[in-house]
Every structure is written in C-alpha cells, then in structure tokens.
Amino acid sequence: MPLSGKIALVTGASRGIGAATAIELAKRGAHVVITARTQGGLEETDDAIRKSGGTATLLPLDLAQGDKLEHIGPTLYERFGRLDILVANAGSLGVLSPVQDIQPDDWTEALAVNVTANWRLIRSTARLLLAAEAGRAVFVTSRIVLHPTAYWGTYGATKAALHHLIQCWAGETATSTLRINLADPGPVATALRRGGFPGEDQSKLPHPTDIAPGIADMCGPAETRHGELVRVSPIPL
C-alpha cells in the first residue's frame, strides 16, 4: 500500500478518468477526497472505492464557481491536517466551433474549468502540498496543445494556458520535494471524448482504467519527474 496514510484530492471524479484514478489511488491506500458536480456520479465512485476496500470523502462542487475553491485547502487542513496529492483532472471540452464563432458563455465556462479552477486550486492547496513529505500534483491535459487543430480553439487554448501555468509553478517549486507534472491520457472512452467525436466506436479506445495506473504512479513517493508532460496511454505516440 504505497499511498497508505496519504490524503488525495481528485477533481472530476464523478466519471471517466477522474473516477478511475480515484479508485486506483484508494486501492493503493490513499484516502481520496472526490469532487465534481454530479452527486450520483460521486456516489458511484465511492461505492467502487468501498468495494475495493478503500475510503473516500465526497465533496460536490462546481469548479466554475471559482471563489468557493479558496475554502478547499483550509477545509482539508481542518478535517485531515494535510494534503499529499492533488489530481486536477476535471475538464471541459467547451463547444467545437470556428474561432470567430465561439460564444462568450462557452468560452467563459471552458476557461473557468480548465484554467481558472486549477489556478484557484493551486492557491488553495499549495501550502499543504509543499508541507507534505512527498507532495504530488498531476494536471490532466491534452497533447492538442502541441498540435493546434481547426475548430478545437477553445479546448486547445485553455489547455495551453494550463500548461504554461503549471510549468511556471514547477519552475518555482523545483527545489522543494513537491513534484508537479502534466498527464496526457491520449484518446480515452469517456463522455468528454464522445462530445468531440460523436460517431466514434469507443469500444476500440482505451478505457479510463487503462489510464488510471499511470496517473497513480505519478502520485507515488518514487516519482522524480517535475514539470513534464507525461504520456499515460497504452497507445504509443
């Protein structure tokens, strides 16, 4: 149980990659604080965690309501006295559209979830992660930032902003014991992927459970990488 005694916060844990990662972290011994908007999805993740012998705390939350995120770090400190692992996985595809037709509400929502929420989470949890013996932060992103793609401007621009922010934070914390990385899951059979590729046969894609072990490895005490974009997919580049 390499993560025994550790507290992990996982965003976007109501389904998909976040749910699978929360279950994997709990299997490795961490107590997992799981967050998303959908209470029913969080309960399903919690059920799976309990079935595998782990424990979780549910924290229903809309990441687009940025100022509420300021309370997360202090609340975790009050409840657990620590935070060892942050998996910032929640993401929004926005709406695929020519750049000139992107609607303000769609832009604002994707920016709020993919960028602003992660900055707020860092503000709120950095002191706890830096105080942990082997603090780990993983931000789930997409390789699209290296390959700008027509109609994917909202998603790509927000993930590119996330990359920049995280690599700056990694530079600022290089001499600490905190290891901060970006995880690239490649294509995965999830609701978000279906939004971008509605006609695709998802049975041929990796499942979230194929991705979760790689992300959980990035949260382990043995992780030495820092500020890197790490491919966590069975599909080679």
- Binding to ligand NAP by residue 14, rule CB under 6 A? yes
Min. distance of Cβ 122 from ligand NAP in angstroms? Answer: 15
Q: Which of 118, 142, 154, 158 binds ligand NAP (CB under 6 A)?
A: 142
**Residue 138 CA to its chain's centroid (Å):** 6
- Binding to ligand NAP by residue 91, rule CB under 6 A? yes
Q: Which of 3, 6, 8, 12 binds ligand NAP (CB under 6 A)?
A: 12
The set of residues, in sequence order, having a beta carbon less than 8 Å from that of 99 and lying 6+ positions away, is 153
Q: Which is nearer to ligand NAP, 30 or 63 (CB)?
A: 63
String of contacts with ligand NAP for each residue 100-139, x by CB under 6 A:
-------------x--------------------------
Min. distance of Cβ 148 from ligand NAP in angstroms? Answer: 15
Residue of 132, 154, 13 whose CA lies nearest to 76: 132
Q: What is the 3-state secondary structure (H, E, C) of the chain?
A: CCCCCCEEEEECCCCHHHHHHHHHHHHCCCEEEEEECCHHHHHHHHHHHHHCCCEEEEEECCCCCHHHHHHHHHHHHHHHCCCCEEEECCCCCCCCECHHHCCHHHHHHHHHHHHHHHHHHHHHHHHHHHHCCCCEEEEECCHHHHCCCCCEHHHHHHHHHHHHHHHHHHHHCCCCCCEEEEEECCCCCCHHHHHHCCCCCHHHCCCHHHHHHHHHHHCCCCCCCCCCEEECCCCCC
Site for ligand NAP in 28-87 (CB under 6 A): 36-38, 41, 61-64
Min. distance of Cβ 207 from ligand NAP in angstroms? Answer: 10
Q: Which of 3, 7, 8, 18 binds ligand NAP (CB under 6 A)?
A: 18
Q: Which is nearer to ligand NAP, 135 or 185 (CB)?
A: 185
Q: Which is nearer to ligand NAP, 102 or 132 (CB)?
A: 102
**Could you confirm whether 77 is annotated as catalytic?**
no
Report the distance separating Cα 103 and Cα 234, nearest Å.
35
Q: Which of 192, 209, 220, 228 binds ligand NAP (CB under 6 A)?
A: 192
Yes or no: say if 230 and 217 are a contact pair by the CB < 8 Å rule.
no
Q: Which is nearer to ligand NAP, 132 or 181 (CB)?
A: 181
Min. distance of Cβ 37 from ligand NAP in angstroms? Answer: 3
Q: Which position among 93, 155, 182, 190 bears the catalytic label?
A: 155
Active site residues: 155
User: Could you list the residues that contact ligand NAP (CB under 6 A)?
Assistant: 12-18, 36-38, 41, 61-64, 89-92, 113, 140, 142, 185, 187-188, 190-193
